[in-house]
Amino acid sequence: MDFLNDFLLPPAKSTHADAVDKLFGFVNFVSVILIVGITIAVLYFVYKYYRKSENEVTPIIRQNVPLEVAWTIIPLFLVFIVFGWGFKGYMELTQVPEDAYEIHVTAQRWLWKFEYPNGATTTNELHVPANRPVKLLMQSKSGDVIHSFYVPDYRIKKDVLPNQYTQVWFNVKEPGESDLFCAEYCGTGHSDMTGTVIAHSEDEYEEWLADAGSGSMKDLPPVERGEKLFTQNACQTCHSLDGSRKTGPTVKGLFGSEEEMESGQTITVDENYLRESILNPNAKIVAGYAAVMPSFKGQLSDDQIDAIIEYIKAQK
């Protein structure tokens, strides 16, 4: 069964994974036995009981009690095994150890934000210590939609809701990287709502955290601050830097260009247009694009908007 799991499943990188895989392997194994057994029986009966002459008459069989009891009890028994086994695993997945290290997660269209105990934040990149239970306290930005936090390598998936916390926990066996996906359809950018989970060894993690927590942006020149803010808010998920078309228009060569709006009006991209597009994205929609960008009102200060505009201006 194990070799089949290695072939079918992503690497098992969390302590949950082995239990999940064993149950998955069991269900697969039973299914294979059943499908092979039933197929052989059907073929055998077709051969044994086909009508051999014109005047052969099929006997009428009213019932067969032992057979009916058997095909009721055996599947019922299998269902009970899978239920009990699954329930035990479910309890382990939902009961968070008390000493778990806590990280806060906010999902929004279409990015993941992580906040660490020392106030450091990251976007689309979750850093965790290995060999230690980690708890994620998750929510979707208010007014946003349902997302789902999914890390196949860890065998965990949990919905992330607006106005309500959900949580998951895991214990990563070894330092390394794993893919993170959004597993709930959440609109145009859903398939781009991906990220990476990076598990560090204990020492490396402390070092990373101290570093990430001290990163002040105040002293940087506006364009560089803008670049960091652009990445932190995952603007590049929808607005490419290289001129390619994504969910929204590219920022390459955007500033100073003439854009045709959905309304038929043509505008020249200046600071005021960019500012309005960040705070009130639906005020003017570029022709050929959908009105799907969420507002960043209340999320970015005037200063930060300035810096982002400077960064966009630098993308010639």
List of residues contacting ligand CUA (CB under 6 A): 110, 147, 182, 184-186, 190, 193
Chain center to CA of 21? 20
Beta strand pairing status for 133-140 and 101-108?
parallel
Number of Cα atoms under 13 Å in the Cβ half of residue 230: 23
Residue 229 beta carbon to ligand CUA: minimum distance, rounded to whole angstroms: 21
Instruction: Tell me how far, at minimum, the Cβ of 147 lies from ligand CUA, in Å.
Output: 3
- In the chain, the N- to C-terminal Cα span, in Å, equals 56
Alpha-carbon span 313 to 306, nearest angstrom: 11
Shortest CB 17 distance to ligand CUA, Å? 23
Q: Closest approach of Cβ 299 to ligand CUA, in Å?
A: 17
Q: CB 193 → ligand CUA: shortest distance, Å?
A: 4
CB-wise, 168 or 186, nearer to ligand CUA?
Answer: 186
Residue (130 or 138) nearer to ligand CUA, CB: 138
Measure the CA dihedral 106/107/110/116, to 10°: 30
**Closest distance between ligand CUA and the C-beta of residue 260, in Å?**
30
Those residues whose C-beta lies under 8 Å from the C-beta of residue 175, and which sit 6 or more positions away, are: 130, 199, 200, 201, 204
What is the rounded distance in angstroms from the CA atom of residue 236 to the CA atom of residue 222?
18
Q: Which is nearer to ligand CUA, 186 or 251 (CB)?
A: 186
Least distance between ligand CUA and beta carbon 24 (Å): 24
Which residue is it, tokens 């078309």? Answer: 245
- Considering the complex, state which of residue 164 and residue 263 has its C-beta at the smaller distance from ligand CUA: 164
Complex with ligand CUA: residue 193 or 305, whichever CB lies closer: 193
Question: Nearer Cβ to ligand CUA, position 165 or 185?
Answer: 185
Minimum CB distance to ligand CUA smaller for 186 or for 199: 186
3-state class (DSSP) for residue 147: strand
Q: For 59-125, what is the HEC assignment? A: CCCCCCHHHHHHHHHHHHHHHHHHHHHHHHHHHHHHCCCCCCEEEEEEEECCEEEEECCCCCEEECE
